[in-house]
Amino acid sequence: MITPSSFKAEFRAFRLLDDGLVQLKLDEAYIRTGPSWGTLRDKGAAVLAAHLLASDPMSEPSSRQVSDKDSKSSYLREWERMLAQVRIFGTVPTAATSTPPEP
């Protein structure tokens, strides 16, 4: 599971944010990226949390990155790409599973 400090190390734009706010968004993101995400769950939750933080008006100006007319950050586009992969393969294989389940 991703912690605020490991999240901030990977997503440097959010390094100045309060750990409590980062944890709140990580918790929300983990709910949206359930166990069916398999090995992609941690990465998916981190990317979604980055989007949630980037679109939060309470975030530091340097971390706000939602400027498209469709209000999608690059983080949300990445999360949607990952979600499509999860939907195509069903449960993403975990370390114990070498191939995706049959459709």
The model's pLDDT over 14-72, given as tens digits with 9 standing for 90+, comes to: 999 999 999 999 999 999 998 889 889 999 999 999 999 988 877 665 555 545 455 67
pTM: 0.77
Residue 80 has pLDDT above 70, yes or no: yes
**Better-predicted residue by pLDDT, 100 or 58:** 58
**Residue of 94 and 29 predicted with greater confidence:** 29
Q: What is the pLDDT of residue 45?
A: 97
Alpha-carbon 9 to chain mean position: 14
